[in-house]
Structure 1
Amino acid sequence: MNTNRIRTVAGAAAVAAFALGGALFATSPANAAGVSGPGFWVDGVQYRTVGTPTDLSGTGAPASSFQPIYAFPAGTQENIATAAPGDPGYRGGRWQVLPVSLPNGYGAALASGDLDSDGVLDSAAELWAAQSAGDVAVGDAVASFECPVIKVPASN
């Protein structure tokens, strides 16, 4: 493989990981120790992670070996994943980041997708409802990595 192409692919993966890092690993004092605050939703439950992702973008692993995590635009809400530890189909903390855009704005996505009326899209079913209405668009994978998942304690 051409050295320039390797640098381009590695650079693109680094930029994608950096751009999504704020959404995945919220800045907080706990992050100094590596543990993020609430980072994403799975079926109405918040999870966080440890900020030590291993980049798997260039491994050639099939997309089916990763769990999708839908990355929302900064400042809108936490991301959504399709499974967590203990769920059928959970893939052991191997994530593939799919960027989400909101063509009609976040309010429209909530109006069409917030099936439980709690003011946030917090499950894959809600994301897909908003997508079916045309209020959420999902892009192609921009990063693939591995990192652990921790359920957010009820006090957070």
Structure 2
Amino acid sequence: MPRMNNEKWNEFLKRIGGGRSARDVCGNDKDMPSWRIVSNKLNEDTAFASKYSLAMENRGQVYADKISEIVDKVVDGLIDPNAGRVAIDGLKWMSMKLAPKKYGDVHKMEVKHETSYVDALKEISGIVDSTTSNALRTHEETEKNKTIQ
């Protein structure tokens, strides 16, 4: 195997992002490193690990795209519906595992609180109190005017 430089590592990531597994790329492509070398790189280089993670998400997108291709083939009668269902289920599972943010069952929402709940409730209470007191004042004045006449 030739020495790995940034260009070769980028090519490795491109193959992963194109839908191939790291095992396939490492085992079958003579110009690519062994899985042991890739594993060491992932453990030692956080920037590469981040790029690898992105490539894996892209791989999940490729699998999701394959689902629509299989659906078209089933509709056209080129693939048995049961075989298509099995393939689609497998691709959905892989997409969920590779790109959980996009295709996963659990969606997390992060909310940043700039004030405390207590402060927000006090503010709302103040608004409600002022609205209520204005309404009472108006009602009292209306009643007062009725009794004067």
Relative to the length of structure 1, the TM-score reads 0.22
Say which one has the larger Rg: 2
Select the structure that is richer in helix.
2
Q: Which has the higher contact order (CA 8 A, sep 6+)?
A: 1
